[in-house]
């Protein structure tokens, strides 16, 4: 009717027909129903808020493209509907999600005994609706709740907290200059901060931890994720320093201590440990400089000049400009002598350093037969070549 541009009520007005009564039912246009399909609106407020803790648990799973140094690829969030307290679990694969649900249900029921979990709400992913998990639900009297397909808004609470924690962790990694493989530390620390921050979702604007435990606590955040800190060293020689320069990576749910990573040398950059005696400098973020020791070093760009490398090493690794300059001069002299021996010339007939650098920048395929020692391998280009090696030697 009228080219399917309007509804039946408008068509009646245009055709001077009497309006339809409240009891009459307008016919359904098949083609309008097929081509003008819209989604039904979702309720703006929940109508089933839990009256006590662990009555209803929400869960959601998220994946990260970058594998962490420990091998983690996913993290799973659990959310208490009443207190808004969040738990975060790190996973190697999606297959671990079932066991994490079982472990978490047993954990919270033991913490809040004799209270029991009544509902577990998920988004209906394949790994969360298996027969084994359904048997666990039936054995423990738990009713699973699933959101409809393509209707994440039905389980909007964990989706919103997943967004909050994900964006907070990305912001912390960017501010600290940390690599993407450090995301487990950022996600865990963002979860900790969420639990100690007052929220409007809880009555009286108290923190989720206070609403879950029923006890008021004072929290003090001393450091910023990725900032410089100094951790005390207990096993050392008498002449060695009493503290080590570290990067702050968060806290622990088991220990009353701070999680830090040693950045004193490249050999110690994979050492992550807990320390109670830590002093923070929240104005300095060491990982914002690429030359600071880290578990997986960044390759130095071939276009980086010698002066910039010397300056960065002098600032962050206590290396002197004269030491690096001498090493570079000796290396350049050795390359000049090596080229003279290749061509059997010396004095005025030898190639200059400028010609040597020009030959070095040429492709390996063109000069591999004539000057094989001057052609860099692909591995040397990726690691930054001789300049990166010299800088690492001076930093260590």
94, 74 Cβ separation under 8 angstroms: yes
The region of weakest confidence among 102-106, 151-155, 381-385 is 381-385
In a domain, 299, yes or no: no
| Same domain for 232 and 209 | no
> Of the residues 261, 288, 315, which one is the last residue of a structural domain?
288
CA angle 21, 25, 30 (to 5 degrees): 140
Report DSSP letters for 248-284, one per residue. Answer: EEEE-SSSSSEEEEE-SSSTTTT-EEEES-EEEETT-
For residue 288, the tally of other CB atoms under 10 A from its CB is 14
pTM over 0.95: no
Q: In this structure, are 86 and 201 located in the same domain?
A: yes
Mean pLDDT lowest among 174-178, 345-349, 364-368: 364-368
**249 preceded by cis ω (within 30°)?**
no
Q: Tens digits of per-residue pLDDT, 358-368?
A: 555 554 444 44
Give me the domain span that covers residue 255.
228-288
Would residue 221 count as lying in a domain?
A: no
Q: What confidence tens digit (pLDDT) does each residue in 265-324 have?
A: 777 777 889 999 999 999 999 998 877 777 765 443 333 333 333 334 334 334 333 343
- Is the model's pLDDT at 353 over the cut of 80? no
The whole-number average pLDDT for the span 14-25 is: 61
Q: Are residues 106 and 179 in the same domain?
A: yes
- Please check whether residue 344 lies inside any domain of the structure: yes
Is 329 a member of any domain?
yes
19: which 2 tokens?
Answer: 């309006």
Considering only residues 204 and 243, tell me which one the structure prediction assigns the higher pLDDT.
Answer: 243
Average pLDDT over residues 92-97: 92
| Three-state DSSP class for residue 75 | strand
In a domain, 107, yes or no: yes
In the Cβ-directed half-sphere of 374, how many Cα atoms lie within 13 Å? 28
Structure tokens at 153: 């808004």
Q: What is the CATH number of the domain that holds 104?
A: 3.30.420.10
Lowest mean pLDDT among 15-19, 219-223, 375-379: 375-379
Tell me the pLDDT tens digit for each residue of 41-74.
Answer: 887 777 778 889 999 999 999 999 899 988 999 9
Predicted pLDDT at 344: 53
User: Is 29 inside a domain boundary?
Assistant: yes
For residues 105 and 172, membership in a common domain is answered with: yes
pLDDT tops 80 at residue 350: no
361-366, Cβ contacts within 8 angstroms, sequence gap of 24 or more: none
Final residue in a domain of this structure, among 159, 190, 213: 213
Q: Let me know how long the chain is.
A: 396
Same domain as 244, residue 205: no
Residue 152 sits in the same domain as residue 201: yes
Q: 68 and 202, same structural domain?
A: yes
Residues 207 and 90 in one domain: yes
Better-predicted residue by pLDDT, 38 or 368 = 38
Residue 330 has pLDDT above 60, yes or no: no
pLDDT of residue 58: 94
**Same domain, residue pair 140 and 184:** yes
Which pLDDT score, from 0 to 100, does residue 42 have? Answer: 80
pLDDT at 341: 58
User: Structural domain tally of the chain?
Assistant: 4
351 neighbors 339 (Cβ within 8 angstroms): yes
Same domain? 334 vs 368: yes
Q: Nearest 5°: phi and psi at 154?
A: -70, -25
Q: Has residue 219 been placed in a domain?
A: no
Cα distances (Å, whole numbers) of residue 173 to 99, 166, 198, 232, 393: 29, 11, 23, 25, 28
Each residue's pLDDT tens digit, 151-175? 878 888 899 999 999 999 999 999 9
Picking from 165, 279, 288, the residue whose alpha carbon sits closest to that of residue 222 is 279
Output the pLDDT for position 351. 52
Residues 184 and 248 in one domain: no
Residue 124 lies in a domain: yes
68 and 194 in a single domain? The answer is yes
Helix (H) or strand (E) holding 144, with range, is strand 143-146
Residue 298 vs residues 173, 177, 180, 193, 295: alpha-carbon distances, Å: 16, 12, 12, 30, 10
Q: What percent of the chain has pLDDT over 90?
A: 38
Report the mean per-residue pLDDT for the chain: 76
């Amino acid at each position: 009717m009228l080219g399917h541009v309007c509804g039946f009520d408008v068509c009646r007005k245009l055709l001077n027909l009497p309006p339809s009564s409240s009891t009459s039912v307008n016919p359904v246009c098949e083609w309008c129903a097929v081509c003008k399909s819209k989604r039904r609106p979702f309720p703006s407020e929940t109508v089933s808020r839990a009256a006590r803790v662990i009555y209803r648990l929400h869960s959601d799973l998220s994946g990260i493209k970058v594998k962490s140094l420990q091998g983690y690829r996913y993290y799973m969030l659990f959310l208490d509907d009443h207190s808004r307290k969040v738990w975060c679990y790190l996973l190697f694969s999606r297959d671990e999600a079932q066991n994490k649900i079982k472990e978490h249900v047993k954990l919270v029921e033991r913490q809040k005994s004799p209270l029991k979990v009544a509902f577990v709400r998920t988004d209906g992913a394949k790994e969360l609706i298996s027969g084994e998990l359904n048997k666990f639900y039936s054995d423990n009297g738990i009713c699973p709740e699933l959101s409809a397909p393509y209707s994440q808004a039905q389980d909007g609470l964990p989706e919103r907290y997943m967004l909050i924690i994900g964006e907070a962790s990305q912001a912390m990694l960017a501010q600290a200059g940390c690599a993407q493989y450090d995301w487990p530390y950022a996600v865990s620390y963002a979860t900790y901060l969420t639990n100690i921050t007052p929220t409007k979702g809880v009555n009286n604007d108290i923190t989720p931890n206070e609403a879950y435990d029923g006890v008021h606590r004072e929290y003090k955040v001393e450091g910023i994720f990725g900032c410089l800190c100094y951790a005390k060293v207990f096993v050392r020689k008498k002449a060695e320093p009493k503290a080590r320069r570290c990067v702050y990576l968060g806290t622990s749910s088991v220990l009353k201590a701070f999680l830090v990573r040693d950045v004193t040398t490249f050999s110690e950059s994979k050492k992550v440990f807990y320390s109670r005696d830590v002093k923070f400098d929240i104005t300095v973020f060491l990982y914002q400089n690429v030359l600071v020791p880290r578990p997986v070093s960044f390759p130095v760009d071939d276009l980086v000049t010698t002066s910039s490398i010397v300056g960065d090493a002098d600032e962050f690794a206590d290396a002197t400009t004269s030491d690096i300059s001498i090493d570079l001069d000796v290396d350049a002299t050795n390359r000049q002598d090596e080229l003279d021996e290749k061509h059997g010339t010396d004095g005025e007939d030898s190639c200059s350093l400028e010609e040597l650098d020009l030959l070095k920048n040429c492709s390996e395929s063109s000069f591999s037969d004539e000057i094989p020692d001057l052609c860099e391998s692909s591995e040397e280009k990726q690691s930054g070549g001789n300049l990166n090696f010299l800088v690492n030697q001076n930093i260590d």
